[in-house]
Amino acid sequence: MPLTFATWNINSVRLRRPMIEEFLAVFRPDVLCLQEIKCTNDQFPEAEFAAAGYPFQAVNGQKAYHGVATVSRMPLTRISTRSFCGIDQARHISAQIDYGRGPVTIHNFYVPAGGDEADPQTNPKFKHKLGFLAEMQDWFDTPEFSGNQLIAGDFNIAPHENDVWSHKQLLKVVSHTPIETNALDRLLTRRNWVDLVRKHIPHENKLYSWWSYRAKDWDSSDRGRRLDHIWSTRDVAEHSISADVIRSARGWTDKPSDHVPVIARLG
């Protein structure tokens, strides 16, 4: 049974619900992970997504900030959340699905952005980001991550040279500094994760999933970064057949998210 999986930092689920519904209708993913929903659990548009064909939902919301949610056509079980660094922020939710090849646990992450200064001594937000990544690494060392896992979301790191519009100019900019990219590389190798997007779209190709609101014409300037990722353990990756970044979504309305959906398909 094939599975189409997507992730999208939507930057307010209530504000951009029509965009999500359009995406669901056109691309018809089986599972969609959302980040930065910016609402509490009771404010999440549960009925609207159920009416769109996604009655199974796992939500970890927070008033006005952060928040993650997973909506699905198929049942979600074993739903759980996890806090990081002793900070009570809604940045993770996991759920298990069975898509025909056995159970797969899907982890939906919103890694902290890290502020503007890449110095953990002077910038608490950057310190939080590095601590969050370190806790993820320790968690990935546990037996539950030995197989049948898929992790996705806004990792707020563009790890490779062709994941940013200018490697040289962004080396000191948060999201592409060596301390961050090295930390993400350590995560990737911890359990031999497979980057499902780069499995199908080679590193030689420039690829972005985020464009700043500051750009007057994001499309022509094309100063993007690939901040949104889908990884899986190798047993799941064996069934990965394609991946896409839906660049056009950045221009679907006059008030889009600054991120676009990323899709991976399993056969």
pLDDT in tens, 56-87: 999 999 999 999 999 999 999 999 999 999 99
**pLDDT tens digits, 105-140:** 999 999 999 999 999 999 999 999 999 999 999 999
The reported pTM is 0.97
Task: Using alpha carbons, select from 206, 240, 243 the residue that is nearest to residue 225.
Answer: 206
**Mean pLDDT within 212-221:** 94
Domain of residue 132, CATH code: 3.60.10.10
DSSP state of 239: T
Spatial CB neighbours of 85, under 8 Å, sequence gap ≥ 6: 128, 131, 132, 135
Number of domains in the chain: 1
Distance of CA 237 to the CA centre of its chain: 17
Q: Are 10 and 36 in contact (CB under 8 A)?
A: yes
Give the confidence band of 190 by pLDDT, cuts at 50, 70, 90. confident
Residue 63, domain extent: 3-266
Q: What is the pLDDT of residue 70?
A: 99
Q: What whole-number distance in Å separates Cα of residue 75 and Cα of residue 174?
A: 37
